[in-house]
């Protein structure tokens, strides 16, 4: 009888350890109580000295129960899969990602659709010094005050006029901090790309507070239908734009009775064919 009970208890214990490891502690306690109860029942039905046998049975089962409990506790404490661990949850992981600096950069403000610089106008003082006059008018839009006479030497100007846009670029950069001006040549009839470049250059310069100086030759018509003709060449200042740069404001030193007018950027580009501009 006792051997049968012990055998059954061992079998139940193995099943508990295998199938329900998380109940091993409760199972261990129940097994101890059961062992005690069986021993008492045996003692009640038989007057033989069973206390020693009961104690031996419990002593024999005790270490095994402890061993099983330890193994079960170890199994519970050490999960066998990531899903069993709370720390394995994706939401529990500390984020190590850093913000993309490109995404945190502020977008550059869009240029205004229309802008005309605050400048002071002067008509040229001699037939040949339209270059110094145009440079002087453009510089006044940047807050740089100078005179036509003072710009003659920087432009290498003389009775034959100013040679090219390379000279106006040099003279402008001598007067403006950072030398921002660049020469852009249009060696022949302007291409669509050169027209687009002129529009972009005018918008950028005016937005930055700088006037543009253009070296033109031949004839052109302004937006009011006015006719402007300079067969030998001429220099003008561009001091503003509208329609996102598709139309430009020109300060012209040639005629004080018509100091300024509007012209399309396309017409200005064609007016500069074989010449260039400083922007």
Bridge-partner residues for 144, per DSSP? none
Residue 197 CA to residue 165 CA, distance in Å, equals 16
- Low-confidence stretches of the chain (pLDDT beneath 50): 1, 5, 16-97, 103
Question: What is the reported pLDDT for 93?
Answer: 44
Distances in Å between the Cα of 222 and the Cα atoms of 8, 133, 143, 167, 268 are: 112, 21, 27, 26, 9
Which element (helix H / strand E) includes 259? none
Q: What is the pLDDT of residue 49?
A: 38
State the Cα–Cα distance between residues 178 and 39, nearest whole angstrom: 104
| Three-state secondary structure readout of 158-181 | ECCECCCHHHHHHHHHHHCCCCCC
pLDDT of residue 71: 47
| CATH number attached to the domain at 115-278 | 3.90.70.10
Strand partners, 248: 241, 263
- Helix (H, G, I), strand (E, B), or coil: what is residue 230? strand
Whole-angstrom Cα distance, residue 242 to residue 94?
Answer: 53
pLDDT at 131: 98
For the chain, domain boundaries: 2-79, 115-278
Q: What is the pLDDT at residue 9?
A: 57
pTM above 0.85, yes or no: no
Is the CB of residue 164 less than 8 Å from the CB of residue 184? no
For the CA atoms of 160, 166, 171, 173, what is the dihedral angle to 10 degrees?
A: 170
**Looking at the DSSP assignment, which residues form a beta bridge with residue 113?**
none
Task: Give the pLDDT score at 197.
Answer: 98
| Nearest-angstrom CA–CA distance, 53 and 55 | 5
């Amino acid at each position: 009888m006792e051997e049968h009970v012990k055998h059954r208890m061992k079998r139940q214990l193995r099943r508990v350890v295998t199938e329900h490891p998380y109940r091993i502690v409760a199972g261990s306690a129940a097994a101890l109580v059961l062992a005690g109860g069986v021993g008492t029942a045996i003692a009640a039905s038989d007057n033989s000295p069973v206390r020693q046998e009961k104690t031996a049975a419990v002593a024999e089962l005790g270490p095994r129960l402890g061993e099983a409990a330890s193994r079960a506790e170890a199994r519970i404490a050490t999960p066998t899969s990531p899903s069993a661990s709370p720390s394995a949850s994706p939401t529990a992981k500390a984020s190590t990602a850093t913000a993309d600096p490109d995404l945190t950069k502020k977008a550059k403000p869009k240029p205004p659709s229309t802008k005309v610089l605050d400048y002071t106008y002067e008509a040229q003082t001699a037939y040949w010094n339209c270059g110094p006059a145009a440079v002087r008018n453009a510089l006044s839009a940047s807050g740089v005050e100078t005179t036509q006479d003072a710009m003659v030497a920087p432009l290498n100007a003389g009775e034959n006029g100013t040679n090219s846009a390379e000279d106006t670029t040099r003279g402008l950069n001598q007067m403006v901090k950072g030398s921002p001006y660049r020469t852009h040549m249009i060696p022949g009839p302007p291409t669509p790309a050169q027209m687009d470049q002129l529009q972009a250059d005018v918008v950028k310069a005016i937005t930055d507070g700088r006037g543009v100086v253009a070296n033109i030759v031949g004839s052109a018509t302004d937006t009011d239908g006015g006719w402007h003709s300079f067969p030998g060449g001429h220099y003008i200042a561009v001091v503003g734009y509208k329609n996102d740069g598709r139309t430009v404001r020109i300060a012209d030193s040639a005629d004080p009775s018509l100091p300024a007018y509007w012209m399309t950027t396309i017409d200005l580009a064609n007016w500069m064919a074989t010449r260039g501009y400083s922007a």
